[in-house]
Amino acid sequence: MDWLNDLLLPPAKSTLAEQTDTLFWFVHLSSLVLTVGLIAVIVYFVIKYRRQSEDEVTPVITHNNALEVTWSVIPLILVLIVFGWGYEVFMNQQVAPDDAYEINVTGQKWVWQFKYENGARSNGKLHVPADRPVKLIMSSNDVIHSFYVPDYRLKQDVVPGRYTEMWFNAPDTGRSTVYCTEYCGTGHSDMLGEVIVHSQEEFETWLANNSGGGSKPEDLAPEEWGKQLAKEYACTTCHSPSGEKLTGPTWKGKFDSQEQLSDGSSVTVDENYIRESILEPNAKVVKGYPAVMNTYQGQLNEEQISAIIEYIKTLK
């Protein structure tokens, strides 16, 4: 089955992915065999019993017990096999091992945020150790999202107001794409992320370097730090730094300019307006754009906000 997998499915990069694939092929190939068999029988009878002349009489057969039992029992057995087998694979995927490493995941329009036990944070990129069970504890800040990693054959809805869980063990280092597969608004298709599987030592180093939460300001000029933050917090998913029209207004050439607002008034894009737009995005919405941004209150501190403003100033 390996060649079929390589041809039609994404690479299987978690310990449980193969179980899902085997069941997947069983369901699909047995359906294929039944479908082809059924079509063959239909074609055979269509040819065999085609009426040759007007006076031929069709024999009247009311039933055939042996045949009816056969075509009921075979599908019943197949369905029971799929049920039992599916239940086993499902439970394996649902119940995380007790020693799993826990990471908190928050879905928010339109970025995945990850929080670690030691306070480390990451946006869009899920850093995990290789060859160790990892359990994700997931919730949403706004609407329903869905966390989907095709390489791991895992998909789980992420719902506001409750926690959902999922776990995996990726034996090898490497990268896999995370998709949001629940339509969640205009930025849904941009809500991509990545799982980065590190070796144990590499993961420890990453954790230690990020325990303070994100990049460090003291090493960088404010506008450089702001540029990093804008990427890290996915600001640039909706606000292009290059003039392109995305979900939100571009940042290019906006500082010090006049913007028309949706209520008909206008505003000068200065430090105060940008700060307000980050903390209270829907107070003054630029005309022609949807009021869909979430507040970054509690996520970005004042120092980080001013770094982002410094970055916006450089986009002339």
Q: Which residues bind ligand CUA (CB under 6 A)?
A: 107, 110, 145, 180, 182-184, 188, 191
In this complex, which beta carbon is closest to ligand CUA, that of residue 44 or of residue 183? 183
Q: Give the nearest distance from C-beta 140 to ligand CUA in angstroms.
A: 8
Residue 20 CB, shortest distance to ligand CUA, in Å, is 22
Nearer to ligand CUA, 154 or 274 (CB): 154
Question: Which residue's CB is nearer to ligand CUA, number 12 or number 184?
Answer: 184
**Measured on CA atoms in the order 104, 196, 222, 283, is the torsion positive or negative?**
negative
Least gap, CB of 293 to ligand CUA (angstroms): 14
User: Which residue, 18 or 190, has its beta carbon nearer to ligand CUA?
Assistant: 190
Find the shortest distance in angstroms from Cβ 144 to ligand CUA: 8
156 or 304: whose CB is closer to ligand CUA? Answer: 156
Q: Can you give the C-alpha Rg of the chain in angstroms?
A: 28
CB 114 within 8 A of CB 138: no
Nearest to 108 by CA among 191, 214, 165: 191
Least distance (Å) from ligand CUA to the CB of residue 77? 40
**Shortest Å, Cβ 194 to ligand CUA:** 15
C-beta of 141 vs 262, nearer to ligand CUA = 141
Least distance to ligand CUA from the beta carbon of 146, Å?
7
Looking at beta carbons only, is 157 or 202 nearer to ligand CUA?
A: 157
